[in-house]
Amino acid sequence: MVKKILSILLWVITAAALIALFVFAREDYLTTPLKSIQLIPSTDTGFVRKTALHDEIERICAKKNIGTVDMVAIQKVMDDNSWIESSASFVDLDGTLNVSFKEYEPWFRVYGQDGQSVYVTRNGVVVPTCPIYTPYVLVASGNLDIRNDSVTYQLNDTLPSDANMLSALHWCGAIEENDFVSQCVGQLYCNKKNQFELTVKGFDGRVIVGDTCDAADKLHRLEVFMKQRIDSPETQTFKSINLSYKNQIVCTKR
C-alpha cells in the first residue's frame, strides 16, 4: 500500500515539475526579443513590393518580444494589400516571424470605357493595376464596366454591370483552351451591342464571335479558316469575318 502511495506521489511530483518547466520555458520564450522577419511568397507574380511590405511589418514588430507581437495588426496589413490573395503568419521556435502569402495571378487586363484599367484572375477576382509591375496578358476593352479600379472585388453574376466582364472571362477561358487560337489572338473587344470581337494576328479586320454561346465551336471554325485561308490574298480584302452564326463563317469585303 505504501509503495502504491509513493508511486502515485512520484507521478504527481513529476507531472507538477513538468508543468512548472513548461510554464517557465513558455514564459522565457514569450519574453525573448523577436529575432527576424521572413517573407515567404508562394507565388512571385510581381505585384507586391517585398521590401516595402517587410518594412511595414517591421514597424509593427519594432522592439517587441515574441509574446507582444501584434499578429492581428500584421494580418490587417496583409488583408489590406489589394494584390495579396491569402496569407498566414507564425513565429517559429528560433524567434523568426514567418509571413507566407500568395499573390493574385492576373489572367487578362480590362480597359473600361472611362479609361480605367484592372486585371481579372481566373476566378473572376478584379485586381487593381500596379505601378511596379505590368504582366503580359490578353487585353479586353470596349463596352466593359469597371466598378472600382482601386480595390479588389469579386465579379458577381447577379449584377448587370458585371455581365460583359463575366463574358470576357468566359471568352478568355475558351481562347486558352484552343492552343492555335491562343497564339493568334491579341485582343478581345466588346462592341456597343455587347457582342465580342477578336483582334487576330495576320488579319487586318474584325473577327466577330458574338456572345459566349458555342464559344469553343466558334474558335474551332476560326482555327480551320485561318489554317486554310489566312495567307490568301482574298482574305486580306475582307473587312470582317463573322463566326456568330451557327455552323457558318460569313465574310464581308471592304
Domain boundary among 103, 124, 152: 103
Could you tell me the three cell numbers for 18? Answer: 513538468
83: in domain? yes
Domain annotation covers residue 209: yes
**Is 9 inside a domain boundary?**
no
| Of 133, 171, 169, 127, nearest in space to 150 by CA | 127
Q: State mean pLDDT over 94-111.
A: 92
Distance of CA 215 to CAs 66, 90, 231, Å? Answer: 55, 46, 24
Question: Domain total for the chain?
Answer: 2
Q: Are residues 236 and 215 in the same domain?
A: yes
Q: Which domain holds residue 132?
A: 108-253
Q: What is the mean pLDDT of residues 42-54?
A: 87
Provide the strand spans (E) within the chain.
36-41, 84-91, 96-103, 108-111, 117-120, 125-128, 138-142, 153-154, 185-190, 196-200, 206-210, 238-242, 250-253
Domain co-membership, 62 together with 162: no
- What pLDDT is stored for residue 24 in this prediction? 39
- 28 within a domain of the structure (yes/no): no
Residue 13 confidence class, pLDDT cut points 50, 70, 90? low
Instruction: Give pLDDT, residue 9.
Output: 55
Q: Which of 52, 79, 103 is the last residue of a domain?
A: 103
For residues 48 and 146, membership in a common domain is answered with no
- DSSP letter at 133? B
Residue of 61 and 183 predicted with greater confidence: 183
pLDDT at 15: 54
Q: Is the predicted pLDDT of residue 25 greater than 80, yes or no?
A: no
Are residues 122 and 243 both part of a single domain?
A: yes
Which value, to the nearest 10 degrees, does the dihedral of the CA atoms of residues 53, 56, 61, 62 take? Answer: 130
Name the band, by pLDDT with cuts 50, 70 and 90, for residue 34: confident
Picking from 99, 87, 84, 79, the residue whose alpha carbon sits closest to that of residue 34 is 99
**Distance (Å, rounded) from C-alpha 126 to C-alpha 148?**
9
What is the reported pLDDT for 22? Answer: 43
Same domain membership, residue 207 and residue 170 = yes
Q: In what order do the strands lie in the sheet with 196-200?
A: 153-154, 125-128, 117-120, 108-111, 138-142, 185-190, 196-200, 206-210, 238-242, 250-253
In this predicted structure, the answer to whether residue 213 has a pLDDT above a threshold of 90 is yes
pTM for the model stands at 0.82
At 253, the pLDDT band (50, 70, 90 cuts) reads: confident
Q: The CATH number of the domain where 175 resides is what?
A: 3.40.50.11690
Q: Point out the domain boundary residue: 82, 103, 124.
A: 103
Averaged pLDDT of the chain: 86
Query: DSSP E strands: which ranges in 44-166?
Result: 84-91, 96-103, 108-111, 117-120, 125-128, 138-142, 153-154
Flag whether pLDDT at 154 surpasses 60. yes
Cα–Cα distance, 200 to 94 (Å, whole number): 56
228 and 164 part of one domain:
yes
In a domain, 24, yes or no: no
Distances from the Cα of 5 to the Cα of 8, 119, 143, angstroms: 5, 72, 85
DSSP state of 34: P
Provide the pLDDT for residue 26: 42
* 6 lies in some domain: no
Do both 72 and 122 map to the same domain?
A: no
Here the cell at position 161 is 454591370
In this structure, are strands 238-242 and 206-210 parallel, antiparallel, or unpaired? parallel
How long is the chain? 254
**Helices 215-229 and 163-177 meet at what angle, rounded to 10?**
50
Beta bridge partners of 196: 190, 210
